[in-house]
Amino acid sequence: MSAEPVLAERAYLLLKADIMAGRFAWGGILNERALAVEYGVSVSPLRDAAQRLVGEHMLEIAVGGGYRLPVMSPDALRDLYRWHGHLIRLILKASRPAAAFEAQSYAETEADGRAFATAATNLFLAIAQAGDDHEHRRALRSATERLHIARLGEARVLRNLEEELRAVGIATISGRGPDRFEALWAYHRRRIRRVGRIWEAISL
């Protein structure tokens, strides 16, 4: 079997992790050769990985060739938070996530922004996985992963993140009717109201 698909998968996972961690500047062009060397692959697998991430809206094809990060404006971030909230509502209206969410770990999320971002991303990815509709699952996974970098900024702007995330988990598992959706929408509304400060925190 050719090693090319294995190397492309390796490049995809490493590049995606770096994007989600906020390593690259908004609108910045990727240095394909330097990244290929760093990831231990040739340029071809790296380009395969980048093309896959274009399909996930994490990269764009740059004018003149190559790949760049999309430019994230406060308005675009606000729209993404709203879209994420609507997708969760769609999924939860049609399915009930397993009680295994109760095992979600929120330890030290207040002290460590990366731990909070990872815990929140994992929770919403689990909600996506519980969905019955394939398109809803795929859309929520994409929106959740694209918001990961914003969650790193949230930790610099918002307080009581551990308590809030735990409440979201409880509402997801055992909430009922309008109260359930209100708790989940309150999570997004809080971020939408502070989107300018969150955007500034991830744009430094």
How does pLDDT run across 5-30, given as a tens digit for each residue?
A: 899 999 999 999 999 999 999 999 99
End-to-end distance of the chain based on CA atoms, in angstroms? 44
**Rounded to two decimals, what is the model's pTM?**
0.88
Cα distance between residue 52 and residue 200, in whole Å: 28
Residue 94 above 70 pLDDT? yes
* Residue 34 pLDDT grade (very low, low, confident, very high; cuts 50, 70, 90): very high
Average pLDDT, whole number, for the chain? 88
State the CB neighbour count (10 A cutoff) for residue 15: 25
Pick the range with the lowest mean pLDDT from 26-40, 76-90, 91-105, 162-176. Answer: 91-105
Q: Which position has the token pair 């760093």?
A: 38
Are the CB atoms for 36 and 10 separated by under 8 Å? no
- Burial zone of 191 (CB within 10 Å; 0-12 exposed, 13-18 middle, 19+ buried): buried
pLDDT at 62: 93
Q: What angle do CA 123, 127, 130 make, to 5 degrees?
A: 140
Residue 195 above 70 pLDDT? yes
